């Protein structure tokens, strides 16, 4: 006997439609009276309904940040006309802004070495639609993960590197990134130190993931070092790259407790899990325009 047919409530359908029709307006400017009003008033005049809004005024630096999601209520909404109209209002506040259309998928290049856990996680989230990204290619200094990229139908670029060929290899990587049109580079356990020139070129558009352990352990087998010291927490940090190794502006961090019964292989497994989650979260925050770079720090409007 068939059970009752369940119809999705009209309100639930409307929510799904709204989510697929949400534009994102992000802006920042010097702190000044009326910064929120200039955004909300203009949206009202344009008959745009605000579905989410977050703002922050940094009183130490005197800088203001705002992120607004909205849906147009009037027919014939045009991005160019909207931007031109808002630019006139924003000029009074020295406000810079960006408008992102619904359904935008940011083009990305992923860089990896031999470890596949972060890449696998990103590919799953990409395949299932959890991450609004368009993976243009996967770049590696090793051939090991080519079959994984091939299974997903993504171009795999193998650029071997030695200390002697580093400049030439980075030139190949740079050419691939530029040719792909990537707006974001994800270092998913890419085990090479990028040159100062490369870091400068990718400033604000390259995210790295690395283990975060207290105390800090560098070199080979950090989780084994952590086990020997009896650490009680393992974690990971996702950050934008800069010229200081693993010290770029932090986007998000994750942590997992460990105990005396956790052996080195357990710490490694937990570390991999938290690296995957932390990197994926950072990428999602970036592509949803929830991260503002401000000097050496970030302003992050979480979900």
Identify the pLDDT of residue 216: 74
Distance CA 260, CA 273 (A): 19
Q: Tens digit of pLDDT for each residue in 85-127?
A: 999 999 999 999 999 999 999 999 999 999 999 999 999 999 9
CATH architecture under which domain 17-100 falls: 2-Layer Sandwich (3.30)
In the beta sheet, which residues pair with residue 139? 111, 157
Q: What is the DSSP letter of 155?
A: -
Residue intervals of the chain classified under CATH 3.40.50.170 are 106-300
More confident of the two residues 201 and 21: 201
Specify the 3-state DSSP secondary structure of 44.
helix
Contacts of 86 (CB under 8 A, 6+ apart): 25, 42, 97, 99
Identify the pLDDT of residue 85: 97
Is residue 242 very low, low, confident or very high in pLDDT (cuts 50, 70, 90)? Answer: confident
Sheet with 23-30: list strands edge to edge. 48-58, 63-72, 23-30, 96-100
77-105 burial by CB neighbour count: b if 16+ within 10 A, else e? beeeebeeebeebbeebebebeebeeeee
Identify the pLDDT of residue 222: 85
134 catalytic, yes or no? no
Identify the pLDDT of residue 21: 81
CA 97 to chain centre: 19
Q: Which of 57, 58, 134, 246 is catalytic?
A: 246
Task: List, as one string, the DSSP characters of 231-300.
Answer: -SEEEEEEEE--SSTT-SPEEEEEEEE--TT--HHHHHHHHHHHHHHHHHHHHHHHHTT-EEEETTEEEE
Average pLDDT, the chain: 91
Length of the chain: 303
List the one residue out of 139, 164, 159 whose CA is nearest residue 149.
139
For domain 106-300, give the CATH number: 3.40.50.170
Identify the pLDDT of residue 213: 72
Are residues 138 and 119 in contact, defined by beta-carbon separation less than 8 angstroms?
yes
Whether the per-residue pLDDT at 267 is higher than 70: the answer is: yes
Pick the range with the lowest mean pLDDT from 79-83, 154-158, 189-193, 283-287. Answer: 189-193
Is residue 5 very low, low, confident or very high in pLDDT (cuts 50, 70, 90)? Answer: very low
Residue intervals of the chain classified under CATH 3.30.70.260 are 17-100
Tell me the range of 21-25, 40-44, 196-200 where mean pLDDT is highest: 40-44
């Amino acid at each position: 006997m068939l059970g009752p047919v369940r119809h999705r409530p009209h309100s639930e359908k409307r929510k799904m439609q709204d989510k697929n029709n949400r534009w994102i307006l992000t802006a920042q400017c010097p702190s000044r009276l009326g910064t929120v009003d200039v955004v909300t008033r203009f949206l009202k005049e344009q008959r745009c309904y605000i579905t989410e809004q977050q703002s922050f005024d940094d009183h130490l630096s005197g800088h203001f940040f705002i992120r607004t999601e909205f849906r147009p209520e009037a027919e014939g909404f045009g991005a160019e006309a909207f931007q031109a109209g808002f630019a006139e209002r924003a000029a009074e506040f020295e406000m810079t802004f960006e408008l992102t259309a619904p359904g935008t998928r940011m083009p990305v290049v992923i860089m990896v070495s031999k470890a596949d856990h972060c890449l696998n996680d990103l590919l799953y989230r990409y395949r299932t639609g959890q991450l609004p990204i368009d993976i243009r290619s996967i770049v590696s200094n090793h051939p090991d993960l080519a079959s994984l990229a091939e299974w997903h139908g993504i171009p795999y670029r193998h650029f071997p590197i030695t200390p002697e060929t580093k400049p030439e290899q980075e030139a190949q990587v740079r050419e691939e990134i530029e040719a792909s049109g990537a707006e974001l580079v994800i270092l998913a356990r890419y085990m090479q130190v990028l040159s100062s020139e490369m870091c400068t070129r990718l400033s604000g558009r390259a995210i790295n993931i690395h283990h975060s352990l207290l105390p800090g352990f560098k070199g080979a087998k950090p989780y084994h070092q952590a086990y020997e010291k009896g650490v009680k927490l393992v974690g990971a940090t996702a950050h934008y790259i800069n010229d200081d190794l693993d010290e770029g502006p932090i986007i998000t961090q994750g942590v997992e407790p460990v105990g005396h019964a956790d052996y080195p292989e357990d710490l490694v497994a937990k570390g991999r899990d938290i690296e995957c989650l932390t990197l994926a979260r950072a990428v999602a925050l970036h592509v949803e325009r929830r991260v503002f770079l401000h000097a050496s720090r970030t302003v992050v409007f979480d979900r």
